[in-house]
Amino acid sequence: MAIYRNDQAQLTFAAESAQGADPEQYKGALESSGGTAAVDGAHEAGSRTLKVGTIGTAVFTVGDFIRIGEDATDDGPTTSLFEMEVRRIERISGLNTIGNGATFVLDRPLSYYHASGRKVYEIGAETASPSDKHKYLTFIPGVYETVDTPDPEMTIEGRHFLNTTSKRNFSVAYSGQQSLTGSVGGITLINGWPLRFPIGSVTTEPATSALLNSDTTLASDAKKGDIFISITSDTGMSEGSYVVIGKGTTSAEVRRLVWTDAQTNSSGNWGVNYPLSFDHTSGDSTHTVRNCSATGPFTHRIQEEVELDTVTWHVHVKDSSETTTKNFNRRYIGGMIGSCTIAAEEGGMLGMSWDSVNFLNMLHNQTNQKTLASGGSSAPASGDDYYGASVEANMPRFALMNEIDNDDIGEPYHNGNGANDGTGYPSTAPYYFSEGTIKFFGQTFAKIRGFSLSVSNSEEPRYYIGAQGSRQRGPYEILEGPREYSMSATVVLPDADVTAGATAANASQDSALELFRQLLLEGDYGANSGNKKGFTSSLRFDRGTNDYIIIDIPGSAAGSAGTPSTVTSDINSQGLFITSANHAIGGGTAMQVDLEMILRGVQITIVDSQPVYP
């Protein structure tokens, strides 16, 4: 007998261009005699409504699935520069009659920018052989064993009416708000893919030695979330090659060229294998395009941002017989990594956990529930949420979605052949804790044996009055609160005959007792300043030549990973502060201290051979 087993489950993720907008291209099949229209006015990524102009030969119905941004005669991105996506209509306002327009409330926000005039079609089920070239939810956080899936937690309240038959029990039950919170624990890092989401953005640049040919410029602006770029020339570029878009530390990213638009300009318009993470401006000297070696090395810098990018999770479960029709798919959208922990012990592997992740909503592939009306000819005229829709699906949150199979895992390729597009599970080894130091005025005064660094974004799900999908009472948005860092560490004291040597005032002091002094000073070094200053720290994890992770506290300048930035007593420039340092006397030979610290900021630098970071 086939059963659903935990070892037949798979979690993948991708970044979103807007909160709650899962970045999947989806084609589907046109509904026979279904509704047609065109987008009325430009719609940005993140829009929760879609306004359409003149409706063609059939009207739209609540529950219909619509494809936005593709011509009916095209085969998608291989022949047209249109991002396409599928959404479900949850509410309709306006006339919605043939020859007139309407406004649709969608089941989730748009992931792509759609210019006025883009086509809108009513679609039915997916084609018999869906194309792999439209999948982006293919990244894995690392080696993981457990996932707390954020399935909705329902608030159902019993209300007590004043009536003679209640007998002290509630009379009716009403639905309240819903929350969706999950976590992924015990992640062994095999690259830096999951590190940036609790902190901010990631920029990627190849080493100078990996750059090829010369720069070209963008022929038109490229928006965050786009999968197409238009360039003024394609010198040295070809399908399958990698390009770096942008320069410097604020917006550089690497993508693979996978499609060319033969209809328009075979030399200048390209599709990339993963949506862009930044806006890029045409003609701007900092937003040029240049091809680069596929093997790098690449430097990825993770820097703090006020607004965090959210993620989509996709959980794919097979039954033990691996019957395709029994696959159980769930998709969670709008996930903000509210808190995380990065930890390692000496000689051990670098690990991470996404401790708390709040989501806006979920989708799934469970079409119908037999006790509900099916939407067919025998369905009642009212009472069914999606009666009369193009797809006979009566379950709330049902969505058409691509399967994310094990052959899709890894950096997406999308080479146009529609088969096995993932680059595969990363084959790299884990990172081992190779070096950790705490410094004061550039001098080491403690060596770290193990550490745990925690990040909290104090996120807050918000519930507003407004139109949402049927039975959807989850958060409308999730807002970031104050960012807080803390770190605990076990350290050993350096040799007693090693001097601190920082300044003339303390050059004769041994650094073995500097940790104790720092505890008492509380990061306040006087100098007629009422503000505390603190000190710096650097953690390094090596895996090979040009293959490492460095965490600098409170930060580091570009090109200076491993050398923490200078701390001062000025506002917004402090470092680490010790809150607890118990110099206990135990049975060991060398004295070690358990530290508790708070810190203002971090900078993470990763050097590896992985070109594309989500």
- Model pLDDT, residue 239: 84
Q: Does the bond joining 23 to the residue before it have cis omega, within 30 degrees of 0?
A: no
Cα angle value 292/296/297 (rounded, 5°): 140
The whole-number pLDDT of residue 342 equals 95
User: Residue 16: which of 395, 458, 314, 319 has the closest Cα?
Assistant: 314
Distance of alpha carbon 217 from alpha carbon 43, whole angstroms: 26
What CA–CA distances, in Å, run from 365 to 291, 328, 383?
40, 7, 22
Q: How many CB atoms lie within 10 A of CB 226?
A: 21
CA Rg value for the chain: 27
Determine the residue type at 435: E
Provide the phi-psi class of 529: left if phi over 0, else alpha when psi is between -120 and 50, else beta: beta
What letter represents residue 125's amino acid? A
Residue 220 tokens, joined? 């038109």
Look up residue 372 and give its two tokens: 């509900």
Predicted confidence at residue 314, as pLDDT, reads 96
Cα 218 to Cα 75, 222, 231, distances in angstroms? 25, 8, 4
pTM: 0.91
Residue 327, classed as helix, strand or coil, is coil
Q: How many CB atoms lie within 10 A of CB 49?
A: 14
Q: How far apart are the first and last CA of the chain?
A: 39
Please give the structure tokens belonging to residue 583: 């110099």
Position 591 scores a pLDDT of: 80
Identify the pLDDT of residue 470.
66
- Residues of the chain where predicted confidence (pLDDT) is lower than 50: 74-79, 263-266, 375-383, 500-508
Distance CA 215, CA 229 (A): 14
Q: In what order do the strands lie in the sheet with 289-292?
A: 228-230, 269-272, 253-260, 242-245, 289-292
pLDDT score recorded for residue 402? 87
**If you ran DSSP here, which 8-state letter would residue 280 be given?**
B
CA–CA separation, 240 and 416 (whole Å) = 11
How far apart CA 330 and CA 235 sit, in angstroms, is 43
Going from the C-alpha of 179 to that of each of 108, 450, 475, the distances in angstroms are 16, 35, 7
How many alpha carbons lie under 13 Å from residue 191 in its C-beta half-sphere? 20
And the tokens for 326?
């029994």
What is the model's pLDDT at position 332?
97
Instruction: List all residues 6 or more positions away from 110 whose beta carbon is below 8 Å from its beta carbon.
Output: 18, 21, 43, 44, 45, 46, 47, 48, 50, 68, 85, 87
Predicted confidence at residue 286, as pLDDT, reads 84
Which stretches does DSSP call E strand in 286-377? 289-292, 298-304, 311-319, 328-345, 351-358, 361-364
Q: Which of 118, 119, 116 is nearest to 42 (CA)?
A: 116
Tokens at residue 146, please?
A: 């457990």
| 31 within 8 A of 61, measured Cβ to Cβ | no
Q: Which residues, other chains included, contact 28 with Cβ-Cβ below 8 Å and sequence gap of 6+? A: 65, 67, 86, 123, 124, 125, 126, 127, 400
pLDDT at residue number 264:
45
Distance of alpha carbon 489 from the chain centroid: 28
Q: How far is CA 399 from CA 17, 189, 366, 446, in A?
A: 19, 32, 8, 54
Closest CA to 535 of 552, 510, 560, 547: 552
CA distances from 333 to 36, 137, 364, 475, 522 (A): 27, 11, 11, 11, 43
Report how far Cα 160 is from the mean position of its chain's Cα atoms. Answer: 44
